[in-house]
Each structure stands twice: as structure tokens, then as C-alpha cells.
Structure 1
Amino acid sequence: MKRSHGAFVRTGALLLVLFALSGAPAHAGSWVSGYYTNPWGARGFQLWVPTGYQPGEALPLVVALHGCFQNPDQFAGLTRLNQKADAERFLVLYPNQAMISNGTQCWNFMIATNMERGMGEPSIIVGMVDWVKSHYAVDAHRVYVGGVSAGAVMSSILLACYSDVFAAGMVGAGAMYKAATTASGSAYAMIFGSIYHPDDRGRDAWACSGKPRRQVPVLVLHGSEDDVVNPINGEQAVRQFLQTNDYGDDGADNDSVPYRPTQVRYGDVPGGRRYTVKDYVYGGRLLVQKYELQGMGHAWPGGDPSYLFSDPSGPDATTFMWDFFKQHTR
């Protein structure tokens, strides 16, 4: 089985369709559209190549995962991530959920095969990352993943099972790894929080990447009035990744990584929302950071108001995300 899977992946990579590209780098400041397939399925993607891109200069790569009822164009518009990429010089990969796979364009985080390494939708997304690395100058030590809603839950899965690929990630209005393992359980978890203990899921996440001596920096962002994904899911995601990092530190569950924030800060934006920031620092490194935005529902703060999931009053989640990412290399 393993041999045929690898052969199929190689074949899928060779057959990948890139519109008007033929494997050559695109012009700077432009979209590239493509299609990736492996034994677990096929998905389209869009890649933003930032202004000033030079083929010989390795840039960071951000994988941006849209939410339900969205596509790459809409997520890029909501977050203004391409403008940030132009200003800060990084590539952005936007995988696209096919409507044939989910009629609401949600990533299928609730299906068990999508919660393991080398399987399902996570394997397709990582295959896209590998394709970008093979065709563009990418700093493999600075590959990041982040998303909103269903895309945020898929980000949790990718961070858990591919910690050797991603240097850091963001979970925006999402949930922890394996918050539920069925569709009905996922619906319950979104409303009430997971029935599973984050410490148990923290160990499961560490195991999914092969029990490495490696830590996984994560930014968690959630609105205090989210009525789609209960804010308790944000707290559970923080605890789960702290536990994952506890194991990743020395291979043991010994509370070597602190479970209490090392710093709590408060901020606000003129005309926008107040927020609380909790930092979890270990060994001089910011491992987990939690933003709670007061009064915000299920949204991307600071987003373009013409798109779904926007809370335009701010602060700006895109800036928070990139500021967190650029502190970390793998």
C-alpha cells in the first residue's frame, strides 16, 4: 500500500495542471492557479506571488485556509493577506475546497481520515506545499499555516500531524485537534466545546507527527461572543497545544511547559474592539499566544467588510498573524 501511494503521489505531481505556467515562476505580484491530486482526491489552489519576487531568493510561505462558504479569492479579499505579502515579502498558498467534496465549501475536519498524517485533505494540502517548494524559492524553515472557522480547525490538524512542515500556525475562530471525530460530535463541539480533555488531544497531536522532540508555536484568536464556534474551543486549543509542546520539549508529560500565561496584556483600537492577550513563553520563546476580542462574534477582525466573516472594526488579525509567524523558524 505504501509503495502504490508514493507512486500515485509522484504521478499526481507530474500531472499537476498549472494554467499558462508550465512550471516556470510567475511574474511578481500575480496569481497562479493550479490543481493537485493524490490518492485521497484532487483540489484546486491559488498561489499569490508577491511583488518583487526573485526566483533565487527564498521567501516564507503562508498557507491560508478559507472558511465555509468561501473560496481563495474571497479569503484573500477578507484578510487583505496579499497586500501584507507584498509589503513583507512572502508567498501565499490558498487551497480551495471543492463543492463536490463539501457543498458548503467547509474543509472536512469532521471526517476521521482527515485527522491523520498521510491521509485525506491534509495530505492534499501538504502535497500542494511540496509543489510550491519545487517550483518557487521557498524558505522551508519558514512555512506557516492559518485559517478561519473550518479552515482554522484544519490548521490545527496540519500543525498536529505535520509539525515537521510548519514552523507556526494560527487558529482563528476554530477548535483543537480532534475536538470531535464524527460529524455529529463536531456539531456538538462547536456549540458546547469538545467532550475530550485537551491534555489527551495534546498527546494525540504529538503522536500524529511521530512523537518528535519539536515544539509547535500557535496563535489562537477568538471572539468572546462567537455564537458559531463556542469560545471554549479557543481555550481548549490553547491547552491542547501547550500539552503538545510539553511532550515536544522532552518527550514526557511533566508540565515542563507552563500552563499559565507568563504575561497578560490588554489592548484596544480606536473605534474598534478591546482585546486580551495571553502569552505563554518557554525558554525565551513565545510558544502559544491567545487573543480574545471582546464582543466579537464568528469573524476575522479587521477584515474587509464586503466579505463573509468580517468584523471590520479591528484590530487587524492579519497583522497579528504575520507578526506571530515571523518570530518563528522551524
Structure 2
Amino acid sequence: MHRRGVALSRSLFVLTVLLVLSTGAPAYAGSWVHGNYVGAWGARGYQLWVPTGYQPGTPRPLLVALHGCLQNPDQFAGLTRLNEKADAEGFLILYPNQATFVNATQCWNFMLGNNQERGTGEPSLIVGMVELMKQRYSVDARRVYVGGVSAGGVLTTTLMSCYSDVFAAGMVGAGAMYKAATTVSGTAFAMLFGSIYSPDDKGKDAWVCSGRPRRTVPVLVVHGTEDSVVNPLNGEQAVKQFLQTSDYGDDGVANDSVKGTPTSTRTLSVPGGRTYVVKDYVYGGELVAQKYEIRGMDHAWPGGNASYPFADPAGPDATTFMWDFFKQHTLDLP
């Protein structure tokens, strides 16, 4: 009877753990949590990485990581090695998962109108997930970041533009500026040739979307010079758009107080790998924008794990310099 009791207790313990993980309830220390979020605009699955050493009651930064087309959270995590970085630096990672029933290739539908505004569409679902994580985990609301690649990079620009009161900074990898395209056909053109819209105009649209906040919107843009999927011009437009957004954000006026020219430019190389150019844009002592141009790189994540598609191991480690950029920024909260 004692052995049966022990076996039953173990079975109940395993069942409890499985139930906790399947419902997205809190788990601790170096583990995945799977869940689903349901909001007014539908439902999406997500995966949360809880880093080694996590302790309830100790606020941690949260990174929202948005995969690209033909990817899922597991693949994006493997490509970027973000979970290893999270374990080393002590931050949580939320990986929203695009559903195949809304896009068969798992692209985020960034070009649709309801996904380009505050309070609607896919952005509202992702922000809803963020709020859920704040309720269930010890999240430092001043240090919530968002970064993505390709379609995830473009959706990142909407989240940064329309929820600048939620995200302290963002990273746009192989993506495009806010509202670079507003139709499916326009998206195809923008990806091939760059957006037909003015970055200055979209910079103002972004400032308005968050409710005309009085703050800069720090952005890191990463793009390969030989990107055959998303024209590198899109990366340049994304930098200009957010600099214009920050120009409005610092004093409410477009007066070039945040200038569109880099304050420093340096050329570096990976030993045995690619050369890359880093452009910094500093305003008031703050690095409000930074651009990495990876020479010779196609549509990829620089420094990524070669076991996964869309990796360019010869490039600099984007995961490291992304987190180094984020660590410099916190959100001023009321």
C-alpha cells in the first residue's frame, strides 16, 4: 500500500506539472511555458522562456521576440540562441506564435489596416500577452522590449509606434518602417524596391498612433546589404522614420532637434567573417537609433545558429548587440 501511495503521489505530481505547463500558469527557472491568449481580435499561442535563476518577486526585463515567415517560436529561439542569452542576463522572453489559420506561411499580417493601429488586430493580441505576463510573472514594466526579423521586424515597428508607452526600445531585423505598405500588392513592391511613402510622414503617423507621447522611441535596425527578400532601402527608411518619430517625441515639434544624420560611424569585421558598418544616432546623451549594415549578407539573422534556416554565421552576433542596445534604455513611467 505504501508503494502504491508513493506511485500515486508521483503520478499526481507529474499530472499537476503537465497541467501547469499546458495552461500557461507560472513555471520557474530555465523552462518553457506554453499558453494561448484570447482577446477581442482573436487568439494566438505563445511560448515563454523563464530563465535560469528566475525568482518571483524580483522584477526582470521582458523581451517580446517576433519570428519571421516560415518560422515558429522554437525555430526562432534556436536560430538566435536567445534563451541562452536570457539565462546569462536574467530576462524573460515571450515568443508569440502566428497561427497558420490566419497566414499559411506564418507571416505576421503587418500590411492590414487593423494591424497598424493601437488597440486592434495582431498588435493588440501581443500587447495583451505582455499584460498577461506582467500579471503572472515579476516583470519590470520599465524594461519591456520588442524585436523581430522579417515580417516580425515589420510588426515590431507597429508595436513601437503604437505602444511606445509599453516598449522601452525595439529591434527591426531585415524589416521595414511603420506603414511601409498598407496593401498586399504594396507589400510586394516595398519588399522589392522600398516603400513609396515618406519616412518623415510615417514618423509623424507613428508619433500620433501612441497618442503623441513626449518621449523618444529608441530603435536598432539590422539589415544585410545583399538582402534579396527585403530591399536594404527599407532598413534605411526605418531608421529615418523612427528618428522623425523621436524628433516629434522630444518636444512635440518636427524641428530637427533629433537629427537624421549619424553622430558616429565605424567599420568593423568579424575575424574570418563579414565586415559591417555601425551608425550611431545620439541625442541628449541617449543612443536613440543605431543601424548595423552587414556587408554581403542576404535575408538572415547575423551570427545565427547554422542549424536553422535564415542564419548567417559569418556575421556579427546580433543577439548580443541587440541585448546590449536594449540594456541602455528604460521607460519612464508615471
> TM-score, normalized by length of structure 2?
0.92
User: Is residue 274 from structure 1 mapped to residue 263 from structure 2 by the alignment?
Assistant: no
Cα deviations across residues 181-218 of structure 1 (Å, max 9, x unaligned)? 00100110000000000000000000000011011100
Q: Secondary structure at the match of 2:293?
A: strand
C-alpha distance in structure 1 between counterparts of 2:90 and 2:146, whole Å: 16
Q: CA 1:133–1:274 in structure 2 vs 1: closer, same or farther (change >3 Å)?
A: same
Q: Give the letter aligned to residue 135 of structure 1.
A: R
Could you tell me how far apart the structure 2 residues matched to 1:314 and 1:240 are?
26
Q: Find the residue that maps to 1:64 and give its secondary structure.
A: strand
What does the per-residue CA deviation read over 1:68-108, in whole Å, with 9 as the maximum and x for residues that have no partner?
00000000000000000000000000000000010000000
Q: Report the count of equivalent residues.
A: 313
Name the CA distance, whole Å, in 2 between partners of 1:90 and 1:251: 33
Deviations 1:98-125 (A, max 9, x none): 0001000000001111000000000000
Q: Secondary structure at the match of 1:20?
A: helix
Indicate the SS of the match to 1:191: helix
Match for residue 325 of structure 2?
324
In structure 2, C-alpha distance between the alignment counterparts of 1:64 and 1:159, rounded to whole Å:
13
Q: How far apart in 1 are the matches of 2:166 and 2:31? A: 25
Q: 1:23 to 1:72 in 2, by over 3 A?
A: closer
Task: In structure 2, give the amino acid aligned to 1:296.
Answer: M
Q: Distance in 1 between matches of 2:65 and 2:25?
A: 23
Consecutive unaligned residues in structure 2, runs of 5 or more: 1-17
Within 5 Å, give how 1:299-318 maps onto structure 2: 299-318=300-319
Cα distance between partner residues in 2 of 1:52 and 1:38 = 31
**Aligned residue for 2:126?**
125
1:19 Cα offset (Å): 4.8
1:206 corresponds to which residue? 207
Match in the other structure for 1:13: none
Residue 218 (structure 1) aligns with: 219
1:241 maps to which residue? Answer: 242
Residues 61 and 93 in structure 1, CA contact (< 8 A), matched pair in contact too: yes
Q: Do the aligned partners of 2:24 and 2:33 also contact (CA within 8 Å) in 1?
A: no
Check conservation: 1:19, 1:32, Cα contact below 8 A.
no
2:272 is aligned with what amino acid? Answer: G
Contact 1:246 1:255 (C-alpha < 8 Å) held by counterparts:
yes
Residue 304 of structure 1 deviates from its aligned partner by 0.7
* SS of residue in 2 equivalent to 1:34: strand
What is the distance in 1 between the residues matched to 2:108 and 2:272?
A: 33
Per-residue CA shift, 1:221-251, capped at 9, x if unaligned?
A: 0000001000000000000000000000100
TM-score, with structure 1 as normaliser: 0.94
Q: Percent identity?
A: 74
Partner Cα distance (2:237, 2:34) in 1: 36
1:187 partner letter: A
Matches within 5 A, 1:11-26: 19-21=19-21, 24-26=25-27
Question: For 1:145-156, what aligned pairs fall within 5 Å after superposition?
Answer: 145-156=146-157
Kindly indicate whether the alpha-carbon contact (under 8 Å) linking 1:19 and 1:34 is maintained by their aligned counterparts in 2: no
Partner of 1:10: none
- SS of 2:127's equivalent in the other structure is helix
Q: Deviations over 1:47-83 (max 9, x none)?
A: 0000000001000000000000000000000000000
What is the Cα-based RMSD across aligned positions, in Å? Answer: 1.0
Are residues 23 and 315 of structure 1, via their aligned partners in 2, closer, same or farther at CA, if it must alter by over 3 Å? Answer: closer
CA distance in 2, matches of 1:173, 1:79: 14
Matched AA of 1:201: K
CA contact (8 A) 2:25 2:33 kept: no
State the AA in 2 paired with 1:207.
Answer: V
Distance 1:92 1:166 in 2: 14
Q: Which residue of 2 aligns with 1:53?
A: 54
Give the equivalent residue in structure 2 for 1:260: 261
C-alpha distance in 2 between matches for 1:232 and 1:136: 39
Name structure 1 gaps, 5 residues minimum.
Answer: 1-17
CA distance, structure 2, for counterparts of residue 91 and residue 110 of structure 1: 28
Q: Alpha-carbon deviation of 1:266?
A: 1.0
Asked if the contact 2:175/2:230 (under 8 Å) is kept, the reply is yes
Q: 1:19 & 1:151 partners in 2: Cα distance?
A: 30
- The 5-angstrom pairing of residues 3-14 of structure 1 reads none
CA contact (8 A) 1:25 1:55 kept: no
1:117 alignment partner, SS class: coil
Indicate if the aligned counterparts of 1:40 and 1:119 stay in contact, CA closer than 8 A.
yes
Work out the CA distance in 2 between the residues paired with 1:297 and 1:98. 26
Instruction: Report the AA paired with residue 31 of structure 2.
Output: S
What is the distance in 1 between the residues matched to 2:54 and 2:204? 39
Paired letter, 2:238: A
Task: Provide the rounded CA distance (Å) in 1 between the counterparts of 2:29 and 2:39.
Answer: 29
Contact 2:172 2:219 in 1 (8 A): yes
